[in-house]
Structure 1
């Protein structure tokens, strides 16, 4: 590398919060299936601890050698409904505790995959896993859960949507002492992807290798700093600037991924290009939107600005790496983004505007605190709306909301760390109960038939 490039990378790390957000090892547990739950759990623990034994120390060694911060080391596993479903267990909390124990033994930050894929219907294992989610998340520390309730190919499973509203409420109630923190580890998807390295929605798809290394990059601060240099320039220049910086960020992610892959003897999977913000000053997607000329996130023009950002990040990233995947784009979690928090607190950003923004961003309604007395049917309706955006637009969307017990609009919920704090946002007071009670399936859109 030229001296100028080295200095630029050092500056991006030290001044602009550039980091590798996560190295995530995906592990297939299909060979751990057993009709005896206890035997299956032992196989699961043994395989995870064997394959991931050196993941954390490898990540730390790469950090030290290259000077690149790697914030999290994580694991994702085959959706547990497929594994535990073969057993006679009626409650899968014991499987979640096994995942938690294995994660703690390996020293990772999180493990994802306490998951079910029910976009078209339930298996017995799916039904048992979903009912186990509240207790599982309340009794574990590192386990993350996800449920895919819709896809462009199948439509939306409204029975699952109805149930997930109830599950979110129960999870909040069982973790009330932590302001409903369990809900921060639960994501409801449409069009979930099999190679997502980010939590809480990561799981290891059945089409993946036995084990694989994925990398999730970050860098909102780097993008904002680059845009400061083209203040007032046309949007063509803005897009080109973002593409160039996304190329550099992705190159760094690919370097780290290949190094981890080689050292661990595990195939390299993908680089996820997502701009993942944190509550730290200078590490905000909202500040990028403001740098484009908006007074605050939520102002008219926000959706257009976010669309440009998301597209330019992907265009720059795919030129830098042959294997781009995951979600890739820009995340807009409220509690994890200082600019988003400020926009909500000043009244510039509401739930309706966030929903519009999700039509063009990487995921969806993310890390949003809502009043604790919000009905389960309202939560289900929020999930249905978000799933519809994903299904119709053939993109991944998701909902991660926290009905924080005992809170009302205007309160704030403090989670700490990367999860930050969230102002409690208003939801519609009009009832969706009769709509959600219908159940059944919303059919797939006409453009789903592509064969």
Structure 2
């Protein structure tokens, strides 16, 4: 039973501390949509998505009204499109037609984003994989709600450096095609190592082939709640600090569990997982950077930042797993630059660099996220940054990712404006030394020795 004190406490979290359910994401398998022609496949995709998700937005709004819990986004993830379109797409433009179909379906049901314009190439690429990857710039330029991802590495297979090299070029091309909007197309594209099959967060969500035909995954978020809880124990030792984070994460996850179960029952779709990530927004008081400062840092990036983030991430997970039997996705602390005002402030103050962010990604969820860099950065340099982050995921047996935005026409000292939840980002300096010879070698970096477990 939920006590009256829990109700009062939850109301305070929502009204004063920016607690929300960041997303209800419906995962839909499109494996049964493959037809004999491209048109038949597109028609099948459109019909299945609009049938399965027709009540998703309405259901989210009704649950929000019933419990008074803000549900910010309603989203869809689908089977990686490289698998779905492999037999009917003979050119990159054929894949773009599927992207347009996904966008139309997303518009029809009213969701914010649809993810799964994806390829899984951690070991090598099929012809379909390569065609989809080469289609990404155009697909993201001509659609509004489609999000894309490519998994280029894993602990079991190593890193596909051919794909990493190609993606550096694709990121630049995507930036160029959306340069009139500060290269925002790149904000809808993520490169992964060890990508999870059940991530509800964009831009990296896709519906894994091991999943059911249709599921509901929920992502909760509460940086402001954790910050407020830590203010109450300011100056206490690490034991008190950890217990406070753990208890707060438990409460946040319980809210997500409630919403997930209700959505599952109303939609008649199985409940998948709760992703208990701390996902910030540009709003004041909704920042992971503020949590790190409350722990005792002048700015994110100061000495001790990696240790503080490691502790925060671990305690969030410990608290969350006690609140739900099915925790999955990414689950931890996100550190996107543009979406977190105090991270932006740290960059502008010179406290936070790409190299320090890379160190922080060793101990938190995801990786280098929403970094804006000069638009004249070389493709091989972008590939080198991606390769470094993939290596961290591969060796440490964790999910890592890169969402990097070379803003065409802008350089260090400028700002890129993305709007909404994406906020704005200062252009960060990039190491100018060349990695061309390394990236151009081609082939695959082998999996680490500890991957050999049978």
TM-score in terms of structure 1 length: 0.99
The verdict on how the C-alpha distance between 1:72 and 1:88 changes in structure 2, with shifts beyond 3 A counting, is closer
Cα displacement (A) at 1:89: 3.1
1:224-262 residue CA offsets vs partner (Å, 9 max, x unmatched): 000011111111111110000000000110000000000
Distance 2:351 2:125 in 1: 40
Distance 1:120 1:35 in 2: 28
Structure 1 counterpart of 2:134: 131
Structure 2 counterpart of 1:66: 67
The verdict on how the C-alpha distance between 1:109 and 1:51 changes in structure 2, with shifts beyond 3 A counting, is same
Distance 2:83 2:14 in 1: 41
Distance 2:186 2:337 in 1: 14
1:300 aligns with 2:299: no
Structure 2 counterpart of 1:98: 101
- 1:402-441 to 2 correspondence within 5 Å? 402-441=405-444
1:143 aligns with 2:143: no
1:270-293 residue CA offsets vs partner (Å, 9 max, x unmatched): 000100000000000000000010
Contact 2:89 2:128 survives alignment (8 Å): no
Cα displacement (A) at 1:439: 1.1
Distance 1:126 1:236 in 2: 48
Structure 1 counterpart of 2:36: 35
Cα displacement (A) at 1:38: 0.6
Cα displacement (A) at 1:321: 0.2
Distance 2:4 2:331 in 1: 30
Q: Which runs of 4+ in 1 moved over 3 A?
A: none
1:348 aligns with 2:338: no
Distance 1:337 1:437 in 2: 35
Structure 2 counterpart of 1:202: 205
TM-score in terms of structure 2 length: 0.99
Contact 2:99 2:143 survives alignment (8 Å): yes
1:63-102 residue CA offsets vs partner (Å, 9 max, x unmatched): 0000000000000000000001110431210000000000
Equivalenced residue count is: 451
Structure 2 counterpart of 1:284: 287
Structure 2 counterpart of 1:52: 53
Structure 1 counterpart of 2:18: 17
Distance 2:31 2:280 in 1: 34
Cα displacement (A) at 1:302: 0.3
Cα displacement (A) at 1:410: 1.1
**Structure 2: unaligned runs, 5 residues or longer:** none
Cα displacement (A) at 1:339: 0.7
1:109-132 residue CA offsets vs partner (Å, 9 max, x unmatched): 000000000000011110110010
Structure 1 counterpart of 2:9: 8
Contact 1:37 1:89 survives alignment (8 Å): no
Structure 1 counterpart of 2:400: 397
Contact 1:35 1:88 survives alignment (8 Å): no
**Structure 1: unaligned runs, 5 residues or longer:** none
Contact 2:337 2:344 survives alignment (8 Å): yes
Distance 1:220 1:93 in 2: 37
1:275 to 259, 262, 278: 278
Distance 2:265 2:5 in 1: 28
